[in-house]
A and B are shown apart, each in its own frame.
Chain A
């Protein structure tokens, strides 16, 4: 939202220092020369490069579009709009330019944005981000019937959409059609379990349907989702806007790109971006830390260790850096150094959960169950519903032969992981541990249920356990 506003403000106030005619022979519009005072050199360079490429080929729609995207990426809305308009004029079939132009104008000039979305859809009738934009604009303009039809069109074109069932469910809720609304919101949270909005609406509709337990559970899920900064997306991803974001050349934009790369498992890209960023901002402990994480993920452990130590030289009290370095050292068998680091980290922050979990894991693997349990109980004292700590404690208790306690703890871990919207892998892992515990307790039926759940969640059941899955055993 902040950035969208900046975009529009850039348009309204005029960021153009001057309009320079770089090549006027072909009769097209002038190429905007944006003012660069105060901008990061990397941003200036990115804009200059895109403009130079355009100046060399002013009749090229893609060059205008690319120039628009670079400006758009840096929230320079007015010149970006000019560039998109020219790109769209030069190439009457490419849906990207009217769509991106519409995104620029979505809130500031909804009527124009609607026209541009229609043009994008004329060029590519099933382009779902344009369908979504069209529906949003119609909704904002209060054109109820057209908006509903637009949302239904989106639902049909993009069966995986979260935005469409959210909007359609809300309409049903307003009309008092509670069962239909509940179905729609259930679809939202099924597709996006981290959707605070989906859970919140589900809570509201459950309450109105006289289902207090369902309302309470949905409220708890909504609150858990609301703790995350993103609250779960309420708009479907727009690949063209993501491509625009990827053109951000400013340091923070590249940092965000590195985070996205790391989150998607592309640690090579993340490492490359962080490497350049630490050169530019060598004093940043966070950058060295993130660089170290990327290196560790790539298995470049010696470089990772160096990077963690650099991060700690910048911020000696960083529990996160100490914990991750300790984890790295523990994996390399340097237990004493790892243990020292865990202790330092706990001294800096006694409630730092990754440290407590890492220290517990170290002691667990070395057979020091009592110390491992102590760390986990410290973690749970701080966060009683932490799924990872509960899972670790359950595993530890099972290993120690305290099977009843283990089963109870792992059941709590499972509930907590579900509430937190944990990934399938973690849920499968807990089910597998429960299956093993129940097997050891002689409760074969329960063990089979958990093993079946683990397999359904994508876990490959070890051969030694396969027999459990056979009925009658």
Chain B
């Protein structure tokens, strides 16, 4: 096996032309965005125990263009109750609620967007504590639940559409969290009851569904080898981590070694995270993996991994090297930054268009501080502000001060999705919270840079979820994913996004499709959304 080493660039070179004040900034526009949604845990209701574990894990958000009108619509998963769907009715960040969301019967957790039935529009897969469900896009009528009943009814978490067998159809990987017994009670050191520590509950094998192309999916975990290793899976991302032209799956496991399922190309996967250095932290610890993002943090043209974790654990950077992965967290300043909070959803993008990847991490505790029971409203005891990190040539820096709406307003942060909601090119954010409102944040970073959004599509018109887009600029090579299946329980903008510092020009655009083949396209001008269609050789606005 060989790793994609990509083209070496000098990351610092992209900084020429950075405005001195460049830093990611976000403004809370929830009140005017028209997407009023509050997550309901239903705590204590329906005969449930007082500390029903699914309720503290929150739920996800999907940004996807349901009606193919070129903007991102918004789907929010509800815990106890009905999901909600909002159509984007810009200009600006303006949503209008749309009806037609069917009930699925499960306590909602995650969501993934993809063209499951190959009809050219985007469908949704919804996970839950209870039966998962495929919601088929019915056009103006909304969604309908697929009547096929081959989905799991345990505790599903994140899901990712990806064509792992290169047959042109999107398959589906679903993480399963744990084999939870509602009668099992857990306690803090003071004897106060609280949500269980994950180590108290055994994990489950994750699920891989192969799309058979006739509207059916077949679970192939046993045949592919994925069922062999049960674990407490949360986040998942599909990407060719080994550079062999085949998509792999990387799974963030909670308090267990992470899994890297390496695609062997013959329908089988082997788990190689322990061998390749992506299972444990650099200190050898199995951390509480929650959310995952991928991006080129080292500027070498290869996508690295950022995992969010529990408090007292780093949010860990696994840098992709030719021989595997190394933990680069400390070198990037994460040895101390963000150590006091519990991270879940995560977005990695050049939010301030200075040529460096920034990060936003949704935080919120899963256990209460001892001795605090009666002092605050229940869920406020679990609330924390988000972490905003400004990227640089070497280390992240805390940029929370510029976005108090996001960094200081404490919530039980869980799902997080980034995407250009208002059509101005830079990524905005949607944050979900357990027992709290979903909040919409407009990217208001001050900058003098440019941007480029690239939608990588298969000839049939659907996004290629495993594609990687590479641009050569006057300042070096940049790489970005065209893959919505990142973060935690969520699905973001499927378009590859690039921030381009002022004065830097784009010289070439290359797409590496999910089957490993590469295709070059003419260099686009910046500040555009371009569509590249496989085999077409041209780009479209």
Binding between chains A and B: yes
Q: Name A residues whose Cβ lies closer than 8 Å to a Cβ of B.
A: 1-6, 8-10, 12-13, 15, 34-40, 42-43, 73-76, 107-108, 110, 139-142, 166-167, 170, 173-174, 195-201, 203-204, 207-208, 215, 219, 222-223, 226, 229, 231, 234, 248, 250-253
- Tell me if B283 and A204 are in contact (CB < 8 A): no
Kindly provide the distance from the CB of A374 to the nearest chain B CB, expressed in whole angstroms: 27
Q: Which stretch (B38-46, B332-340, B462-470, B529-537) binds chain A?
A: B332-340
- Tell me if A200 and B323 are in contact (CB < 8 A): no
- Tell me if A110 and B336 are in contact (CB < 8 A): yes
Q: Which of B199, B275, B285, B365 has the most chain A CB atoms inside 10 A of its CB?
A: B275
Binary contact readout B266-283 vs A (1 if CB under 8 angstroms, 0 otherwise): 000001101111011011
How far does the alpha carbon of A8 sit from the alpha carbon of B369 in the complex, in Å?
8
Task: Please indicate the chain A residues that have their CB under 8 angstroms from the CB of B324 in the complex.
Answer: 204, 207-208
- Tell me if B336 and A200 are in contact (CB < 8 A): no
Known: A75-B188, A231-B257. A38 touches B286 (CB 8 A): no
Kindly provide the distance from the CB of A470 to the nearest chain B CB, expressed in whole angstroms: 45
Kindly provide the distance from the CB of A385 to the nearest chain B CB, expressed in whole angstroms: 13
Interface SS of A by simple majority: helix
Residues facing A in B410-438 (CB within 8 A) are none
Residue of chain B at shortest CB distance from A147? B330
Known: A166-B283, A170-B284. 18 other contacts (CB 8 A): A1-B255, A1-B288, A2-B197, A6-B189, A35-B375, A38-B371, A38-B373, A43-B189, A167-B283, A200-B274, A204-B275, A204-B277, A207-B323, A208-B323, A219-B274, A226-B274, A234-B284, A234-B285
What are 22 A-B interface contacts by the 8 Å CB criterion?
A2-B310, A4-B311, A9-B311, A13-B369, A37-B374, A38-B374, A40-B191, A74-B370, A75-B189, A75-B190, A107-B311, A139-B335, A140-B314, A196-B284, A200-B275, A200-B277, A203-B275, A204-B276, A204-B277, A207-B323, A219-B274, A226-B286
Kindly provide the distance from the CB of A157 to the nearest chain B CB, expressed in whole angstroms: 20
Cβ contact of B190, chosen from A174, A200, A250, cutoff 8 A: A250
- Tell me if B275 and A207 are in contact (CB < 8 A): yes
Task: Please indicate the chain B residues that have their CB under 8 angstroms from the CB of A215 in the complex.
Answer: 275
Residue of chain B at shortest CB distance from A73? B189
Binary contact readout B184-215 vs A (1 if CB under 8 angstroms, 0 otherwise): 00011111100001010000000000000000
Kindly provide the distance from the CB of A114 to the nearest chain B CB, expressed in whole angstroms: 11
Known: A76-B370, A197-B285. A4 touches B277 (CB 8 A): no
Q: Does B312 contact A (CB under 8 A)?
A: yes
Known: A12-B369, A39-B371. A107 touches B280 (CB 8 A): no
User: Number of B interface residues, CB 8 Å?
Assistant: 54
Cβ contact of B371, chosen from A76, A141, A197, A204, cutoff 8 A: A76
Q: Which of A5, A13, A40, A110 has the most chain B CB atoms inside 10 A of its CB?
A: A5
Binary contact readout B369-391 vs A (1 if CB under 8 angstroms, 0 otherwise): 11111110000010000000000
How far does the alpha carbon of A463 sit from the alpha carbon of B365 in the complex, in Å?
63
Task: Please indicate the chain A residues that have their CB under 8 angstroms from the CB of B310 in the complex.
Answer: 1-2, 5
Known: A107-B340, A252-B187. A5 touches B367 (CB 8 A): yes
Q: Which of B312, B370, B373 has the most chain A CB atoms inside 10 A of its CB?
A: B370
Known: A141-B336, A226-B274. A37 touches B367 (CB 8 A): no
How far does the alpha carbon of A37 sit from the alpha carbon of B372 in the complex, in Å?
8
Known: A6-B188, A39-B190, A140-B330. A107 touches B339 (CB 8 A): yes
Residue of chain B at shortest CB distance from A197? B284
User: 5 tightest CB-CB pairs across the interface, nearest first?
Assistant: A197-B284, A40-B191, A5-B311, A15-B371, A9-B369
Cβ contact of B191, chosen from A5, A141, A229, A251, cutoff 8 A: A251
- Tell me if B336 and A140 are in contact (CB < 8 A): yes
How far does the alpha carbon of A195 sit from the alpha carbon of B286 in the complex, in Å?
11
Task: Please indicate the chain B residues that have their CB under 8 angstroms from the CB of A34 in the complex.
Answer: 371
How far does the alpha carbon of A380 sit from the alpha carbon of B333 in the complex, in Å?
49
How far does the alpha carbon of A172 sit from the alpha carbon of B517 in the complex, in Å?
36
Known: A200-B274, A204-B324, A250-B190. A226 touches B279 (CB 8 A): yes
Task: Please indicate the chain B residues that have their CB under 8 angstroms from the CB of A6 in the complex.
Answer: 188-189, 367-370
Q: Does B515 contact A (CB under 8 A)?
A: no
Q: Does B304 contact A (CB under 8 A)?
A: no
Kindly provide the distance from the CB of B200 to the nearest chain A CB, expressed in whole angstroms: 10
Cβ contact of A141, chosen from B277, B288, B335, cutoff 8 A: B335
Kindly provide the distance from the CB of A151 to the nearest chain B CB, expressed in whole angstroms: 12
- Tell me if B187 and A250 are in contact (CB < 8 A): yes
Kindly provide the distance from the CB of A221 to the nearest chain B CB, expressed in whole angstroms: 10
- Tell me if A8 and B312 are in contact (CB < 8 A): yes
Known: A8-B312, A107-B340, A204-B275. A43 touches B190 (CB 8 A): yes
- Tell me if A1 and B312 are in contact (CB < 8 A): yes
Kindly provide the distance from the CB of B257 to the nearest chain A CB, expressed in whole angstroms: 5
Known: A6-B188, A40-B191, A166-B283. A108 touches B340 (CB 8 A): yes
Residues facing A in B243-282 (CB within 8 A) are 255-257, 271-272, 274-277, 279-280, 282
Q: Does B22 contact A (CB under 8 A)?
A: no
How far does the alpha carbon of A43 sit from the alpha carbon of B187 in the complex, in Å?
13
How far does the alpha carbon of A267 sit from the alpha carbon of B27 in the complex, in Å?
61
Q: Does B514 contact A (CB under 8 A)?
A: no
How far does the alpha carbon of A166 sit from the alpha carbon of B271 in the complex, in Å?
23
Residues facing A in B297-348 (CB within 8 A) are 310-314, 323-324, 326, 330-331, 333, 335-336, 339-340, 342
Task: Please indicate the chain B residues that have their CB under 8 angstroms from the CB of A9 in the complex.
Answer: 311, 365, 368-369
Kindly provide the distance from the CB of A42 to the nearest chain B CB, expressed in whole angstroms: 7
Task: Please indicate the chain B residues that have their CB under 8 angstroms from the CB of A73 in the complex.
Answer: 189
- Tell me if A250 and B189 are in contact (CB < 8 A): yes
- Tell me if A248 and B189 are in contact (CB < 8 A): yes
Kindly provide the distance from the CB of B324 to the nearest chain A CB, expressed in whole angstroms: 6
Kindly provide the distance from the CB of A248 to the nearest chain B CB, expressed in whole angstroms: 6
- Tell me if B372 and A13 are in contact (CB < 8 A): yes
